[in-house]
Structure 1
Amino acid sequence: MYFILFISFLIIQRLTELYISRRNEKWLLSKGAVEYGREHYPFMVGMHTLFICSIVAEYYLAGDKQMDYLFLGLFILLLLFKFWVLSSLGTYWNTRIYRVPGAGPVKKGPYKLFKHPNYVDVVCEIAIIPLVFHLCYTAVIFTVLNAIMLTVRIRVENKVWAN
Structure 2
Amino acid sequence: MIIGIVLSIIILQRIIELMIANRNEKWMKSQGAFEAGASHYPYMVAMHVFFFIVLISEVFFFHRQLSAIWPIWLGIFLAAQILRIWCLASLGKFWNTKIIVLPNAQVVRKGPYKWLRHPNYMIVATELLVLPLLFNAIFTAFVFSLLNIWMMTVRIPTEEQALRKATNYTEEFQLDK
What TM-score, normalized to structure 2? 0.89
2:99 equivalent in structure 1: 97
2:79 equivalent in structure 1: 77
Asked if the contact 2:64–2:137 (Cα under 8 Å) also holds between the matched residues in 1, the reply is: no
Displacement after TM superposition at 1:134 (Å): 1.0
Residue 33 (1) aligns with residue 25 (2) = no
Partner of 2:136, secondary structure, is coil
- Structure 2: gaps of 5 or more residues: 166-177
| Cα RMSD for the two superposed structures | 0.9
Runs of 4+ in 1 over 3 A off after TM superposition: none
Asked if the contact 2:58–2:64 (Cα under 8 Å) also holds between the matched residues in 1, the reply is: no
1:6 equivalent in structure 2: 6
Asked if the contact 1:104–1:161 (Cα under 8 Å) also holds between the matched residues in 2, the reply is: no
> 126-135 or 61-70: which moved more?
61-70
1:60-75 equivalence runs, <5 A: 60-67=60-67, 68-75=70-77
- Structure 1: gaps of 5 or more residues: none
How many matched pairs?
163
Max radius of gyration: which structure?
A: 2
Asked if the contact 2:64–2:136 (Cα under 8 Å) also holds between the matched residues in 1, the reply is: no
The letter for the 2-side match of 1:55 is L
Percent identity over the alignment is 41
Displacement after TM superposition at 1:64 (Å): 4.6
2:113 equivalent in structure 1: 111
The letter for the 1-side match of 2:30 is S
Q: Distance between the aligned counterparts of 2:106 and 2:150, measured in 1?
A: 26
Partner of 1:150, secondary structure, is helix
Q: Distance between the aligned counterparts of 1:76 and 1:24, measured in 2?
A: 25
Partner of 1:5, secondary structure, is helix
Q: Distance between the aligned counterparts of 1:35 and 1:64, measured in 2?
A: 40
